[in-house]
């Protein structure tokens, strides 16, 4: 009798859980399609995603220092300039504003990265509701949340990541201008283009794609005969004038940087890089696309259908009936733009022998989920939306729980990786204390390669300005004259590819300084990272004798 009651109670509990789950799923679907509630649902989902993945990144990277790209953005943000040698200034400005509000710690850099991708997700939803119905638009946001660029791969804040905000803004402004064709919409499009250009010149790929889409679209004459595109071009040019003046003043240093860094003469290497770029980005896109495809195709009897007729499992989400949930005029814009930015840069890389980095794809495929969801023949069942959200939640929770066990494994596997587990933070603390003991003043300038100097700027409480030897594209944060006046610490990493050039610069510019060797090693829960040796050169401030 007792066993029967226990079984009955368990069955009742399961029934209640299923009932709660069904009500929750029905509410989720209803909110996603509601005009008033859907913005709140999307905002809540994005905030939850940002919080989850900030916590995950904090736990996954607790044994590492921040990436030098992040430290570089922080350094740029110490002074609000019109450019920083390699890139336009917007990423530095955003970092500068962020760290006025938040402490200079590792966790706040991960929060900045996740807030950046969260803002991009919200803008992508605003794009999607102009193309598809609200339920499909919410599906696009959840697919982006599963796309590794918007979570695990988005750990480092830099100009590439910030493009996930500025490029969606450009696309949103273009769709608005294409639809309204007014002077005001043209102004907004021009300002959005200028904001994107102030992030990184790579955005010209997207701006060019939008220009081509405007020329290719079947409704192009309505747009081109309106004032919107011409006002947009004029607004962009006017808004960029201050930056153009800066470019001329620095003798177009960013273009020198790009030419010196990414130009190659080997066509075979160029082809290999292009193939690597394609494979890398397909692999990243595969996760959200496969998850969505399975969710759309699945049914309560999915296994039986898969065994009986595998083709039906693939074909059942599709229909040839008319679909009012897709606005074809705007969908064509999305397909054209995404197609151009997917193929155009690769053709350019092959023709002009450009070194294509896989990270350049970070900003170019945020439209892919929408391009797929906007296919009119694709049918979105309510249950599919719930399954994709559940998959995102399960993935996020699993990674959050597993993170502490992953860290020591990856640290042991990469024990010799100085770049990943070298302790720049320890070196920054030691050098700051050393400078204070020697000179009883603030350490103002550090000289070293970007991956060495900028972490000193981030981790030292004095935040010394970085001076990068042997580069013709100076960030403008400091100069050799200032370094000689205030004194500086020069750092060369022993065994690094640029050690010889670094030490040659130090012999020319730090000849009267004190030389020493410092070794650092990161320890984490009983595991030791790689030992890193640094040749350090300490140059005292002007009009002050060096210590004995």
Residues 216 and 168 in one domain: yes
Residue 3 lies in a domain: yes
Residues 367 and 440 in one domain: no
pLDDT value, residue 15: 61
Residue 333 lies in a domain: yes
Residues 257 and 386 in one domain: yes
pLDDT value, residue 431: 97
Residues 253 and 153 in one domain: yes
pLDDT value, residue 1: 54
**DSSP classification of residue 156:** S
Residues 322 and 428 in one domain: no
pLDDT value, residue 548: 40
pLDDT value, residue 265: 75
Residue 95 lies in a domain: no
- Strand 514-524 to strand 465-467: parallel, antiparallel, or no bridges (unpaired)? unpaired
Residues 16 and 50 in one domain: no
CB atoms within 10 A of CB 2: 6
Residues 449 and 360 in one domain: no
Residues 328 and 356 in one domain: yes
Residue 84 lies in a domain: no
Q: Which residues of 174-209 are buried (b: 16+ CB within 10 A; e: fewer)?
A: bbbbbbebebebbbbbbbbbbbbbbbbebbebbbbb
**DSSP classification of residue 154:** G
pLDDT value, residue 406: 86
Residue 215 lies in a domain: yes
Residues 171 and 125 in one domain: yes
The pTM assigned to this predicted structure is 0.92
pLDDT value, residue 299: 67
Residues 232 and 281 in one domain: yes
CB atoms within 10 A of CB 255: 12
Residues 42 and 140 in one domain: yes
Q: Along the chain (548 residues), what's the average pLDDT of each consecutive run of 10 residues?
A: 56 60 83 93 97 96 92 97 94 98 97 98 98 96 97 95 98 97 97 97 95 96 96 97 95 87 81 93 95 82 58 66 86 97 92 86 96 91 91 96 86 59 88 96 95 96 95 89 95 93 94 91 73 94 60
Q: Which domain holds residue 156?
A: 36-64+105-399
Question: Which residue, of 399, 416, 442, is where some domain finishes?
Answer: 399
Residues 459 and 347 in one domain: no
The Cα 405–Cα 409 span in angstroms is 7
pLDDT value, residue 547: 44
């Amino acid at each position: 009798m007792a066993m029967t009651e226990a079984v009955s109670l368990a069955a009742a509990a399961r029934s209640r859980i299923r009932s709660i789950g069904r009500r929750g799923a029905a509410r989720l679907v209803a909110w996603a399609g509601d005009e008033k509630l859907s913005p709140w649902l999307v905002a809540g989902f994005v905030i939850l995603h940002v919080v989850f993945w900030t916590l995950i990144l904090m736990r996954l990277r607790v044994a590492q220092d921040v990436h030098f790209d992040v430290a570089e953005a922080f350094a740029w943000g110490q002074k609000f300039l019109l450019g920083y040698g390699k890139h336009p200034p917007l990423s530095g400005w955003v970092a500068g504003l962020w760290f006025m509000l938040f402490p200079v710690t590792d966790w706040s850099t991960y929060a900045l990265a996740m807030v950046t991708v969260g803002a991009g997700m919200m803008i992508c939803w605003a794009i999607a509701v102009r193309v598809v119905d609200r339920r499909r638009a919410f599906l696009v946001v959840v697919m982006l949340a599963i796309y590794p660029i918007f979570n695990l791969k988005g750990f480092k804040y830099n100009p590439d990541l910030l493009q996930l905000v500025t490029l969606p803004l450009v696309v949103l402004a273009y769709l608005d201008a294409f639809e309204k064709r007014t002077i005001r919409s043209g102004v907004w499009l021009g300002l959005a283009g200028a904001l994107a250009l102030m992030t990184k010149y790579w955005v010209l790929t997207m701006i060019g794609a939008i220009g081509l889409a405007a020329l290719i679209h079947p409704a192009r004459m309505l747009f081109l005969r309106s004032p919107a595109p011409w006002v947009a071009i004029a607004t962009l040019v006017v808004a960029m004038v201050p930056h153009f003046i800066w470019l001329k003043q620095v003798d177009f240093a960013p273009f020198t940087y790009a030419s010196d860094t990414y130009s190659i003469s080997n066509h075979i290497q160029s082809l290999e890089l292009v193939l690597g770029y394609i494979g890398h980005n397909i692999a990243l896109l595969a996760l959200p696309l496969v998850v969505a495809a399975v969710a759309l195709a699945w049914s309560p009897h999915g296994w039986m259908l898969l065994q009986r007729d595998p083709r039906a499992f693939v074909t059942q989400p599709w229909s040839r009936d008319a679909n009012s949930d897709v606005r074809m005029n705007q969908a064509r814009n999305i397909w054209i733009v995404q197609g151009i930015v997917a193929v155009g840069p690769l053709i350019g890389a092959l023709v002009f022998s450009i070194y294509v980095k896989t990270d350049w794809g970070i900003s170019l495929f945020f439209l892919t989920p929408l391009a797929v969801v906007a296919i009119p023949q694709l049918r979105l069942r309510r249950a599919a939306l719930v399954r994709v959200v559940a998959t995102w939640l399960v993935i996020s929770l699993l990674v959050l729980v597993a993170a502490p066990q992953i860290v020591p494994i990856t640290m042991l596997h990469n024990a010799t990786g100085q770049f990943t587990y070298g302790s720049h933070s320890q070196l920054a603390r030691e050098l700051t204390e050393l400078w204070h003991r020697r000179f009883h003043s603030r350490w103002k300038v550090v000289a070293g390669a970007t991956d060495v100097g900028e972490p000193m700027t981030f981790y030292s409480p004095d935040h010394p300005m970085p001076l990068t030897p042997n580069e013709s594209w100076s960030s403008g944060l400091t100069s050799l004259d200032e370094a000689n006046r205030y004194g500086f610490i020069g750092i060369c990493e022993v065994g690094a590819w640029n050690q010889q050039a670094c030490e040659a610069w130090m012999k020319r510019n730090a000849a009267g300084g004190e030389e020493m060797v410092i070794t650092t090693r990161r320890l984490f829960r009983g595991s030791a990272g790689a030992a890193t040796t640094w040749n350090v050169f300490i140059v005292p401030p002007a009009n002050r004798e060096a210590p004995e």
